[in-house]
Structure 1
Amino acid sequence: MSRKATITQKEIVNAAFKITKREGFEQITSRKLAAAAGCSTQPIFRIYDSMDALKKDVYDKAAAYYEDYYNDCSKNHEVPFVDLGLAYIGFAQKFPYLFKLLFVSEQGDEKKSMYDLVNGSKENVVKEIKRASDDGISNAQQLFMKMWIYIHGAGCMAVTGDYDLDEATSVSMLESAYKAFSL
């Protein structure tokens, strides 16, 4: 009779997620993951045929984590796309390795698009585009694209440590970008 498995797939994913959050997915080795999950490497290889399969599950957990993070952020700015930008930049500052996994690294065919990640299940981008349209912007989707390039650049700068602006300055810059791109 074989021994009952004592470690679950969920526990392995949670351990891998913690390592990814702290050090990046590239730092996961079977031994490091086993130590973090409190098991030998055998259950990991029993559950996962490859690191790509594990990475997909960690990616999905990171995507859900980003959506929860965005949903928990305050949304009190009048200018469209400011709250979206603040949340994105804040996520990059607080969780640079998760940001890289979601928004900078290649994931293959099963990766969600950046738009789908940011839009989320509550259609965050759609709502912001509608707000811009209601604000009198004739081509709000094009404005979103311009703002998103700006916001993504700021997020990437946050990951490298080159974006250290406080929230008030970030709000001012996002509002200025919105006005400039609206012309």
Structure 2
Amino acid sequence: MSRKATITQKEIVNAAFKITKKEGFEQITSRKLAAAAGCSTQPIFRIYENMDGLKKDVYDKAAAYYEDYYNDFNKTHEVPFVDLGLAYIGFAQKYPHLFRLLFISGQGTGGRSMYDLVNGSTENVVKEINKATASGAGNAQQLFMQMWIFIHGAGCMAVTGDYDLDEASSVAMLESAYKAFCLG
């Protein structure tokens, strides 16, 4: 009689996600994952042939985590792209390892681009582009690209610890960039 599996794929993914959140995906080893999941390495190898499958599942969980983070983010600014930028930078500061996995590592799965992640299922970017158009921006798509390069740079600086602006300074910087890009 075979033994009943006591560890599920979901439990393994949750354990891997916790390690990724704290230390980064590249720090996951089968032994560390087994210890975090409370099992031997055997169930991990039974469920996952290799780390690529696990990485895809952790990536998907991190993408959902970012979407929840953005959806729960308090959006109070009238200037387009400011809240989008604040949330993105805040995520980078709070969850640098998840940010690296999603937005820097190039490990996107399922054909999802950085734009797809940020836009999310509720079309966050589309809403901001429409907001920019409604406020009189000439080429809101181009404006988004300029703002996005600026915002992504700030997010990357946050991950490396080189971004130390408080929220008020960040808002002022994002608003200033928006106005400058509108003129250009």
In structure 1, the residue matched to 2:156 is: 156
- Would you say how many aligned residue pairs link Structure 1 and Structure 2? 183
Secondary structure of 1:54's match? helix
TM-score, normalised to structure 1, is: 0.99
In structure 2, the residue matched to 1:115 is: 115
- 1:30-69 mapped onto 2 (5 Å cutoff): 30-69=30-69
Q: In the TM superposition, what whole-angstrom CA distance separates every residue of 1:69-122 from its partner, at most 9, and x where no partner exists?
A: 000001110100000000000000000000000000022653510000000000
Q: In the TM superposition, what whole-angstrom CA distance separates every residue of 1:37-56 from its partner, at most 9, and x where no partner exists?
A: 00000000000001000000
Which sits farther off after the overlay, 72-81 or 99-108?
99-108
Q: Does 1:181 align with 2:178?
A: no
Q: In the TM superposition, what whole-angstrom CA distance separates every residue of 1:17-63 from its partner, at most 9, and x where no partner exists?
A: 00000000000000000000000000000000010000000000000
In structure 1, the residue matched to 2:22 is: 22
Structure 2: distance between partners of 1:106 and 1:100: 9
Q: In the TM superposition, what whole-angstrom CA distance separates every residue of 1:105-161 from its partner, at most 9, and x where no partner exists?
A: 022653510000000000000000000000001100000000000000000000000
Structure 1: distance between partners of 2:59 and 2:91: 15
Structure 2: distance between partners of 1:36 and 1:28: 10
In structure 2, the residue matched to 1:141 is: 141
RMSD in angstroms over aligned alpha carbons?
0.8
Q: Which residue identity lines up with residue 157 of structure 1 in the other structure? A: M
In structure 1, the residue matched to 2:87 is: 87
Residues 111 and 92 of structure 1: is their aligned pair in 2 closer, same or farther, counting only changes over 3 Å? farther
Q: Which residue identity lines up with residue 29 of structure 2 in the other structure? A: T
Secondary structure of 1:18's match? helix
Structure 1: distance between partners of 2:121 and 2:115: 11
Secondary structure of 2:65's match? helix
Runs (4 or more) in structure 1 with deviation over 2 Å come to: 108-111
**Which ranges in structure 2 are unaligned for 5 or more consecutive residues?**
none
Structure 2: distance between partners of 1:169 and 1:109: 35
Structure 1: distance between partners of 2:109 and 2:77: 36
Structure 2: distance between partners of 1:120 and 1:7: 31
